[in-house]
Amino acid sequence: MTRILAYRFSAFGDVAMTVPVFREFLEQNPGVEIIMVSRKNFEALFAGISNVTFKGIDLDDYKGLFGLRKLSNELIREFNPDCIANLHDVIRTKVLDRIYRRKGLKVFKINKGKEEKEHLTDVWNLEKVQLKKTVERYADVFREMGFRIELSHQLRPVSEQKSGIGFAPFAQHKGKMLPLEKSYELVRILAQKHTVYFFGGGKKETETLEKWEEEIPNTKNLAGKLNLTEELNYIAGLELMISMDSANMHLASLVGTRCVSIWGATHPYAGFLGFGQSEEDVVQVKDLSCRPCSVFGDKECYRGDWACLEEFNIQKVVDRVNF
C-alpha cells in the first residue's frame, strides 16, 4: 500500500474540489492510501471515501518555521508517508515541501498555472480561452507520481429523492456576488413555482435570509442551522442548486446535485467550474471583453460600474431552472 501525504489548507471551495479527484483516483488505484491534511472544519467533505484518512489541524498551532517543522515531524511520526502531494503551493506548503525533501521524501506539487491566469485576467487580452480545470491540475500531481487517473467529469447523485431548489446568494468577494436586490427578485420569481431553500454562512447573511424567508412565501432559510454534514445531506436531496462561483457550487458537485452557477468578474475559463457541472448551466454576461478581470473576484472593477453584475439578467437563470 502506497501512502501519500496530501495537503491543502484553504480555501473551502478549493479543498472541496479535491474530493471527487481523490474518489476517482483511489477507485482506479486501489493500492493507494491518501492522508489529507487540512483545516479541522473541512473533515465532513471527505466522509465516506475509502482509503482517505483526514487529519484536521488548527494552523494557529503551527505558526512560523518552527511550527511547520513541528507539524512535519508530527505527520511523519503518525503516518510515515511514501511521498508528498502539495495541492496548495503557497508559502506555508513550500516550507513543508523543503523540510520533507531534506528528510528524503519525494514531493510533488500542483502547477496552478499562474502566468496563464494572469494573461486570462488581463483586461486588454481579447483572446480568452479555457484553461485547464483545477480538478485536472490536482489529478496531474498524482500522474506525476506515476499513477494513471482519468477523471469522469460526471455527477454522481447521492440521493434518488430530489425536490426543491437551493439558493446560495453570497460569496466571499463582491466581484462574485449578484447585487442582493437581483437575488431577491430571482427568489421571488422562482418561489412562485418551487420551494426555495436558502444557504449561507455568517451572522449578517443569516439575518438577511431570515428576512427574505418572512417576506417571500414558499422559502425556507437554512443558513446558520446546519453543520457541514447536514448541509451536504440537504443539498443531496435538492433538485437543483443555484450558486455564485463559490463553495456551494462545489458542495453540490460532491453530492451529485445539478448547479446553475452565476459568474460576475470571474469566469469558468479559469478552471473553477464545479466537478461534473454543465457549462450550459453557467449564467453570465457574455459580451463584456473585460471578463474575467479576476481569478478570485477580489479586485475592484477597473471600469467602476460592475457591469458584469449590474447588467446581469436574472431571467437567464429562471430559464435554466425551468429547462
Three-state SS sequence of the chain:
CEEEEEECCCCHHHHHCHHHHHHHHHHHCCCEEEEEEEEHHHHHHHCCCCCEEEEEECHHHHCHHHHHHHHHHHHHHHHCCCEEEECCCCHHHHHHHHHHHHCCCEEEECCCCHHHHHHHCCCCCCCCCCCCCHHHHHHHHHHHCCCCCCCCCCCCCCCCCCCCEEEECCCCCHHHCCCHHHHHHHHHHHCCCCCEEECCCCHHHHHHHHHHHHHCCCEEECCCCCCHHHHHHHHHCCCEEEEECCHHHHHHHHCCCCEEEEECCCCHHHCCCCCCCCHHHEEECCCCCCCCCCCCCCCCCCCCCCHHHHCCCCHHHHHHHCC
pLDDT in tens, the chain (323 residues): 999 999 999 889 999 999 999 999 999 999 999 999 999 999 999 998 999 999 999 999 999 999 999 999 999 999 999 999 999 999 999 999 999 999 999 999 999 999 999 999 998 999 999 999 999 999 999 999 999 999 999 999 999 999 999 999 999 999 999 999 999 999 999 999 999 999 998 899 999 999 999 999 999 999 999 999 999 999 999 999 999 999 999 999 999 999 999 999 999 999 999 999 999 999 999 989 999 999 999 999 999 999 999 999 999 999 999 87
